[in-house]
A and B are shown apart, each in its own frame.
Chain A
Amino acid sequence: IAGITQAPTSQILAAGRRMTLRCTQDMRHNAMYWYRQDLGLGLRLIHYSNTAGTTGKGEVPDGYSVSRANTDDFPLTLASAVPSQTSVYFCASSDSWGANVLTFGAGSRLTVL
């Protein structure tokens, strides 16, 4: 089934630890994004990539890094997790040359203690 796969589904992490959230899409979409969702704040863009080999900063990039080595994968790394990074993280993709509809993954719930 075509779509976006995120892993892990949920994770509890000690502060200071490194964590990578994985995201893979099989729709050959050019553009991919990472959003975090916090209660009362909606979804906020962390980083994005318009095409393989390029990345850009979103609204809340501090403490996060991304890479886009190929079209399908867009991992998000927290180098040293802090409690304020407790959130639900959604990966999304869009065909930037088409209808521009964002397709979201199922989300990764991260708790930093």
Chain B
Amino acid sequence: GENVEQHPSTLSVQEGDSAVIKCTYSDSASNYFPWYKQELGKRPQLIIDIRSNVGEKKDQRIAVTLNKTAKHFSLHITETQPEDSAVYFCAASISNAGGTSYGKLTFGQGTILTVHP
């Protein structure tokens, strides 16, 4: 089955700096890659996702890049703010031919991001 490795496990940055979290996956058939943010004691929430037909996607201060050849994808957060402090999870899954995913995600181990004011 799919295996997703996520690094680093912890990341500490100063407010305004950029943060990068990297993930690798093992199954070349995976074609859907979401990122979830989980604040302390809260539920995971989707912040951005990317499908294998694109190499990069941006949404304001966050961006995700995908390298299918190398089987890795990364989350980039620019101009970090204290409210970005949370645990971030990458995930991978295989969508069916219709382009939908049944949510059978394989998650990475998580990265604890701390943004210091």
Chain A residues within CB distance 8 Å of chain B: 31, 33, 35, 40-45, 48, 50, 58-59, 90, 92-94, 96-98, 100-102, 104-107
Expressed in whole angstroms, the minimum distance between the Cβ of B88 and any Cβ of chain A is: 11
Majority secondary structure of chain B interface residues (helix, strand, loop or mixed): loop
Chain B residues within CB distance 8 Å of chain A: 1, 4, 6, 9, 32, 34, 36, 42-46, 49, 89, 95, 98, 100-110
Expressed in whole angstroms, the minimum distance between the Cβ of B94 and any Cβ of chain A is: 12
Residues of A within 8 A of B6 (CB): 42
CA distance A105 to B42 in the complex (A): 9
Q: Are B104 and A45 in contact (CB under 8 A)?
A: yes
CB < 8 Å neighbour of B44 from A45, A93, A104: A104
Please list 28 pairs of residues, one from A and one from B, whose beta carbons are closer than 8 Å in the complex, sorted by A's number: A31-B103, A33-B103, A33-B104, A40-B9, A42-B4, A42-B89, A42-B107, A42-B110, A43-B89, A43-B107, A45-B105, A48-B103, A48-B104, A59-B1, A90-B43, A92-B103, A93-B103, A96-B102, A97-B100, A98-B100, A100-B95, A100-B100, A100-B101, A100-B103, A102-B44, A104-B44, A104-B45, A107-B43
